[in-house]
Amino acid sequence: MLDAAQKGGYAYPAINVTSLPTINGALRAFAEAKSDGIIQVSTGGGEFASGTCVKDMALGAIVLAEAVHRLAERYDVLVALHTDHCHPKNVEKFLKPLLAATKARREAGLGNLFNSHMFDGSELSLADNLKISKELLEQCRDLEIILEVEAGVVGGEEDGHDTSGVSNDKLYTTPEDMVTVYETLHGLGRFMFAATFGNVHGAYKPGAVKLKPTILRDGQKAVTDKHGAAAEMDLVFHGGSGTPLEEIRETLGYGVIKMNIDTDTQYAFTRPIADHILKNYEGVMKIDGEVGDKKLYDPRGYLKKGEIGLAARLKQACDDLLSTGNTIHGKV
């Protein structure tokens, strides 16, 4: 999938899921767009999926991944499974149990549970970040798993990890850092690199976020000037929600093959549910001793609407990233 995206000049939307309705919305979108795509689980998403009594981020991620494996069999597109933003404190209780789960599946003659994982060591010094990244990449390589790494900081807040107070210069990865990442990890296994160029998690009004996509261009050039054209890295765009189309498309020319989308699809899922509740309040609620309307308060009724709303927004992302109509399902 990554090779096809680089060759074709497009990127995949990578959507965070937390439940069966969000998984089904993602699969619906990719199938209707005839686009391959990436479904990913964060530490917070995994913890949520395991239930409010269990709160086990790795267990929840396994449950969601197993569901995707079974459901995706009914669709004529390829879907990669990925985990998002594993910070150093969660490596032992999230990333390593998931690597162990894939190892167990492979020993049983099954395919990988996840196709790729992300280690986000951006809160560390670059040297410490890459030391851990190198160790994890070697473990991933042995399981035919791709590792995504990040240098620089994505601003804003996601799953309780708040970087809104970091200094502005931390939001931009330097060409020197990109060269260091390449030289440290090249040859150890396949990796994706989330270089930061002003990205911010969350939703903001136009003009509030100052992206500098040329940072990706300059960093790639520094790498390929030193190591040749084959050294061009697979880049990841974090904080993609709310980004103007022209800036999204610009990044595709600099080697971006994956763009994370979470905030916009969360809203697209919740908006029709809120609409359902507000328009049908007297049926959803048992007001003044009445019995309400079971058809209106049955969660299936409004969760279907959320699934369809999410799918519509994700299909837009496929269009924005030029992945629409580019599935390689059946061709590999």
Closest to 186 measured CA to CA, from 237, 133, 150:
133
Alpha-helix runs per DSSP H in 9-80: 20-33, 43-49, 57-72
pLDDT for res 163: 47
Question: Which member of 84, 159, 234, 262 is catalytic?
Answer: 84
DSSP string, 216-233: HHHHHHHHHHHH-GGG--
Taking Cα atoms as reference points, which of 267, 155, 257, 265 lies closest to residue 210?
155
Judge contact between 185 and 146, C-beta under 8 A. no
The set of residues, in sequence order, having a beta carbon less than 8 Å from that of 251 and lying 6+ positions away, is 11, 213, 216, 235, 237, 259
Q: Where are the domains of the chain?
A: 2-320
Q: Is the domain defined by 2-320 classed in CATH 3.20.20.70?
A: yes
* Rounded-to-5 percentages of helix, strand, coil across the chain: 50, 15, 35
Contact 134, 185 (CB under 8 A): yes
Q: Which two tokens stand for residue 215?
A: 């940072």
Q: Is the pTM of this model over 0.85?
A: yes
CA distances from 30 to 20, 93, 317 (A): 15, 31, 10
CB atoms within 10 A of CB 73: 7
CA 15 – CA 264 distance, rounded (Å): 10
**Contacting residues for 252 by C-beta, under 8 A, at least 6 apart:** 9, 10, 11, 321, 322
Q: Would you give per-residue pLDDT tens digits along the chain (332 residues)? A: 999 999 999 999 999 999 999 999 999 999 999 999 999 999 999 999 999 999 999 999 999 999 999 999 999 999 999 999 999 999 999 999 999 999 999 999 999 999 999 999 999 999 999 999 999 999 999 999 999 999 976 544 555 544 444 445 567 899 999 999 999 999 999 999 999 988 665 555 555 557 888 999 999 999 999 999 999 999 999 876 678 899 999 999 999 999 999 999 999 999 999 999 999 999 999 999 999 999 999 999 999 999 999 999 999 999 999 999 999 999 98
Given the DSSP bridges, would you call strands 116-119 and 37-42 parallel, antiparallel or unpaired? unpaired
| DSSP 8-state symbol, 92 | I
- Residue 227: name the closest of 186, 279, 198, 268 by CA: 186
Stated as kind and residue range, the H or E segment containing 42 is: strand 37-42
84 belongs to the catalytic site: yes
